Structure 1
Amino acid sequence: MQVPSSMLSSLVTLFVTIGPIETAVIFAGLTAGVHHKDQRSLALRSVGIAGLMLLLFALLGNLVLSLLHVSLPAFRVAGGILLFLQGS
């Protein structure tokens, strides 16, 4: 099965933006004294909320940008600048 290049590009961008390794380290540090069962519950709830937010922005993002009178190219440039600043 061949994956479309746009889907692969989106997946790589999502992976780089979220930084799962760094996020896991931060989560482990914040929940160091929490019982394992509660840690699992927090992790599942966090992933669910993040997934819901991703879905909402994927479905309604263009509407929100149009209501704010922000073009997609301008949003991409601003996102690129933020990623550049985060990386430096």
Structure 2
Amino acid sequence: MIQLISWLAGSKAGRWISTALLIIASLLLLAWRIYASGKEAQKAKHTQEALKRLRERIKSDEAIARMSAAERRRRLSDDWGS
């Protein structure tokens, strides 16, 4: 292992290889960070959509709960008949 490190540090070809590997590793790290941030953004978007649907559902449930039984029956029969 030490021979490999000394060859990488001591020879011109080793320094080129070390530099290339460092650049590749940096690019891979950058790509991974971009991928992870995109994944988090998509997860946040899905959560926002789920919350929006939940709010709409709560509003409709509240509206239905305020209706009289006859009004609910009429609305359901209108919706099912259409």
Higher relative contact order (CA 8 A, sep 6+): 1
- Greater helix share, structure number: 2
Structure (1 or 2) with the larger CA radius of gyration: 2
TM-score of the aligned structures, taking structure 2 as reference length: 0.36
What TM-score, normalized by structure 1, do the two folds share? 0.34
